[in-house]
A and B are shown apart, each in its own frame.
Chain A
């Protein structure tokens, strides 16, 4: 028996500790204490996917988010049937339906065999009912993430609008010049 096993930190326990670290690294759970993380861990659903298996499809109703413990997944959309992005160990996806229960905006396929944990709306509701303080912490973190994304989208829209206006003005300038030249000749 090695020292880790003697401390109850064998292969299984070690994985558990690593997973708890993974959970803490996710912004939604980063503010949670040890007891709170353990409560979250209890309501997660462990799923295993083989390479090429679809985790969820675009436009299907969504229930919540997934956290990758090990493996890689590809995120695809129907309009651009190419890889939008790839995610790996410790990363998460599909968190929006956790709040609004809306449909999935992309298809996610396991690229390699994956061990994934699901965190779903019904379990979040149950947690809020049993431990409102913890539930509020999680919902606030989620709201903060959504808020950050909204801000980023707003900034992007502003930039695009500014770029569009600049491009429009640039396109107008030669036309003005031509009109000026024409009037001078006349």
Chain B
């Protein structure tokens, strides 16, 4: 009798948790965003903590050691990069347009006035428009930092906190989840969860590694070419590379724009495009084949739809997370079907 009661209670608890999750998703999307990002990061870093565990430490101690090193690296990066980043924001704000830039803009303006005068662009002032745009961009960045500062701090504190607990207690959480599955489907659920865990972990880690490698290569290439703000554009290109097809273009565009509007150097613009083509070829032919599990093949249309939906729901972050999230759903469905076929439940 007691067993039946505890089973009913467990199911009620599971349903309540699911209902709360759905409500959170609808009414507090920010929380969902934080949890999704934390779960993805925990998946990515789990093997590192497990490797530390191999040295004979407990899971908690391993997670603490991992965080100690993460904080150390983050602090080092902050100390080294903060002044450079600050200078780059200030340079963007002051709209450090050079003389060559003005010349290129004037040339462009002449072409526009000459060729496109018939559609009412005869008296367009490109220089003014561009300086307005760069001013607007830098103000938006600063506004974002100032006004969203509180939520940025909240994110910066909450996400590592969540990642810590997902890393430390993730195994226990999975065990509790398995614990509420009815006896009949318990082995099936365990099998499914394990396969998903392996596939998903491999997929997310390969995506993350690819983004990091591409980001580092792009930053180095932009630094070598002498492009300003390379510390922003390089990592952005790495992140954008997560989005198939449009990602590399989206990554290259800001660099080309900076080359054209800041230095007024068309040759540099072409060099950047060439560098990004080489980077993308290296990524496709060298980096990706070396990564173990890039094998979650998705139809281009599905990717496009996922990016649009991700963007509509969660903005820029949603667009970046759309592809891994769709990969997640695809792996879950694929493994569910394969495992269900294997178990052939008839009652």
Chain A positions near chain B (C-beta within 8 angstroms):
45-50, 53-56, 60-63, 113, 118, 120, 122, 125-126, 129-132
Contact = CB atoms under 8 A, between A and B. Distances in A.
Interface string B157-192: 000000000000001000100110001101100110
A49 B186 CA distance: 12
B342 A61 contact: yes
A130 B54 contact: yes
Interface residues of B, number: 21
A48 B5 CA distance: 12
B50 A62 contact: no
A80 to B, nearest CB: 22
B190 A45 contact: yes
A85 to B, nearest CB: 21
A132 B55 CA distance: 11
B343 interface: yes
A130 B46 CA distance: 11
Contacts of A49: 3, 183
Nearest to A129: B50
B245 interface: no
Contacts of B285: none
Interface of B: 3-4, 6, 50, 53-54, 171, 175, 178-179, 183-184, 186-187, 190-191, 193-194, 342-344
Contacts of B183: 47, 49, 53, 55
Among B50, B53, B183: residue with most chain A CB under 10 A: B183
**Secondary structure of the B contact surface, majority rule:** helix
Nearest to B175: A45
B191 A45 contact: no
A45 B189 CA distance: 13
B186 A47 contact: yes
Nearest to A54: B184
A120 B187 contact: yes
A56 B188 CA distance: 11
A48 B183 CA distance: 8
A63 B191 contact: yes
Contact of A61 (B171, B193, B343): B343
Contacts of B178: 45
Given A47-B183, A54-B184, A120-B190, 18 more contacts: A45-B175, A45-B178, A48-B3, A48-B6, A49-B3, A49-B183, A50-B4, A55-B183, A56-B187, A61-B187, A61-B342, A61-B343, A62-B187, A63-B187, A122-B190, A122-B193, A122-B194, A130-B53
B4 A45 contact: no
A165 B194 CA distance: 50
A49 B182 CA distance: 10
A63 B190 contact: yes
B179 A46 contact: yes
A129 B6 CA distance: 34
A8 B179 CA distance: 26
Nearest to A49: B183
A118 B175 CA distance: 12
24 contacts: A45-B179, A45-B186, A46-B179, A47-B183, A48-B3, A50-B3, A50-B4, A53-B183, A56-B187, A60-B187, A60-B344, A61-B342, A62-B187, A63-B187, A63-B190, A113-B3, A118-B186, A118-B187, A120-B187, A122-B190, A122-B191, A122-B194, A130-B53, A131-B53
Contacts of A55: 183
A132 B51 CA distance: 11
Contacts of B54: 130-132
